[in-house]
């Protein structure tokens, strides 16, 4: 299949791309590099060659909000008699804190960018899409309650609101169903880790907002200590619990979702992509330390605004429908994250 990936130079994009290539798909990758590095694409190519993968990819440097840019990619693929059949839509801005500071930017990039993409897809009759949504759209359900796909949606920040909005647009497109779209919305929980080669991984711009990149920075002595946000949450050890999933397990779910969609004439498939296992901040820190035999100094600080104590997926639907099981343990995630930072102490070459 010829597949377009938006945001393909990013963290999840590079890992999803290698999985799609390994499965024999040719790719068109779009990225504006607003939150990624061209070196990530060079590494993807290098990894593809090392793994002796024959499938090919092209990279298109541009912005999703630029309709002409998008149209050219679709029209060139059509002219080549090998049109783009499906889109994996990952491009977007993802920092909760920035979205609170710059909401209009988030609505513009995430929602306007997506609408633009959907319009061009419709024009070129490419109506198969997998969209990256997030667990952040769910309302907190209380202590130790797993979130299933029917849990209440009530995002508490502009980032989450843009994801919920894009979901609504896709649901409207599906409802109308004049032109038979196949749509899969994947609600990711907390992807961490890296490809086991250590050639691609997560390299956030500036100070990391998320826990795992923050742990990695401390483990490699780039930051003195980890600040743990809150010690008195109503959890097993007082630190917040999340559902961490290996990025390669998450990557696999995209292709499986796409294959599943193709079995139907038209479909809307909404799935949680998590492991169903809760891990506290302290659990993750201690596992990282012991498996990698390194030190992670930390101190406790006040709770982060807007945080919840417990966000864990009920992932039964994804397991059943996709015939998918996350294979990697928290230990594997820590080993691969450590391998990535050991091989690339400053991330990708800048
Ligand atoms: P990322 O920032 O590493 O990747 C996103 C990519 O999109 C970047 O390479 C960026 O340069 C590109 N991009 C952004 N806006 C663009 C635009 N208008 N045009 C073209 N390219 C653009 O983020 P990621 O962690 O790989 O996340 C991918 C998707 O998954 C995002 O939509 C994110 O919201 C979603 N998601 C991520 C997580 C997570 O924890 N990483 C969790 C839930 C959902
Ligand atoms: N966290 C922390 N220190 C950090 C970053 C995050 O203690 O430097 C905590 C955060 O409060 C949350 C958990 O780690 O309870 C996971 O945070 P992350 O931002 O990675 O994921 P999210 O909260 O978006 O699920």
Q: List pLDDT tens digits, range 179-214.
A: 799 999 999 999 999 999 999 999 999 889 999 999
Find the 29 Cα to ligand 2 centroid distance in Å: 30
**Best of 61, 67, 91, 129 for a ligand 1 pocket test (most atoms within 8 Å of beta carbon):** 91
Is residue 17 within 6 Å of ligand 1 at its C-beta?
A: no
Is residue 113 within 6 Å of ligand 1 at its C-beta?
A: yes
State which CATH number among 1.20.1050.10, 3.40.50.300, 3.30.420.40, 3.40.50.720 fits the domain covering 2-343.
3.40.50.720
The contacts of residue 50 (CB under 8 Å, 6+ apart) are 197, 199
Find the 334 Cα to ligand 2 centroid distance in Å: 16
- Atom index in ligand 2 nearest the CA of residue 96 equals 24
CB-based contact 190:245 (threshold 8 Å): yes
74-133 pLDDT, tens digit each = 999 999 989 999 999 999 999 999 999 999 999 999 999 999 999 999 999 999 999 999
| The predicted structure's pLDDT at residue 142 | 84
Give the whole-angstrom CA distance, residue 140 versus residue 152. Answer: 8
Nearest-CA residue for atom 12 of ligand 2? 240
Please indicate whether residue 159 is annotated as part of the active site. Answer: yes
| The predicted structure's pLDDT at residue 173 | 95
Is residue 90 within 6 Å of ligand 1 at its C-beta?
A: yes
Is residue 188 within 6 Å of ligand 1 at its C-beta?
A: yes
Domain regions of the chain by residue span: 2-343
Give the whole-angstrom CA distance, residue 128 versus residue 62. Answer: 22
Is residue 285 within 6 Å of ligand 2 at its C-beta?
A: no
């Amino acid at each position: 299949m010829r597949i377009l990936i938006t945001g393909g130079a990013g963290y999840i994009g590079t890992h999803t791309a290698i999985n799609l290539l390994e499965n024999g798909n040719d790719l068109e990758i779009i990225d504006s590099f607003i939150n990624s590095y061209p070196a990530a694409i060079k590494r993807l190519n290098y990894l593809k060659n090392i793994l002796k993968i024959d499938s090919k990819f092209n990279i298109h440097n541009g912005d999703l909000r630029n309709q002409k840019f998008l149209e050219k990619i679709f029209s060139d693929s059509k002219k080549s008699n090998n049109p783009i059949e499906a889109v994996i839509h990952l491009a977007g801005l993802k920092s909760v804190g920035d979205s609170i500071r710059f909401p209009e930017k988030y609505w513009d990039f995430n929602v306007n960018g997506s609408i633009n993409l959907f319009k061009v897809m419709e024009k070129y009759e490419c109506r198969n899409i997998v969209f990256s949504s997030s667990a952040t759209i769910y309302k907190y359900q209380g202590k130790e309650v797993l979130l299933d796909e029917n849990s209440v949606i009530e995002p508490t920040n502009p980032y989450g609101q843009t994801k919920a909005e894009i979901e609504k647009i896709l649901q409207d497109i599906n409802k109308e169903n004049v032109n038979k779209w196949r749509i899969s919305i994947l609600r990711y929980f907390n992807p961490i880790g890296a490809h086991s080669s250590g050639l691609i991984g997560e390299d956030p711009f500036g100070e990391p907002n998320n826990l795992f990149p923050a742990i990695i920075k401390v483990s490699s002595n780039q930051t003195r200590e980890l600040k743990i946000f809150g010690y008195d949450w109503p959890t097993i050890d007082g630190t917040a619990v999340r559902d961490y999933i290996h990025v390669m397990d998450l990557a696999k779910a995209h292709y499986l979702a796409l294959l599943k969609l193709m079995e139907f004439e038209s479909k809307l498939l909404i799935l949680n992509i998590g492991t169903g296992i809760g891990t506290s901040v302290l659990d993750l820190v201690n596992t990282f330390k012991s498996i990698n035999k390194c030190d992670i100094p930390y101190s406790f600080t006040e709770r982060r605004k807007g945080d919840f104590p417990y966000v864990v997926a009920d992932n039964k639907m994804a397991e059943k429908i996709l015939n998918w099981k996350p294979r990697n343990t928290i230990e594997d995630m820590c080993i691969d994250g450590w391998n990535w930072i050991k091989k690339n102490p400053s991330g990708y070459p800048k």
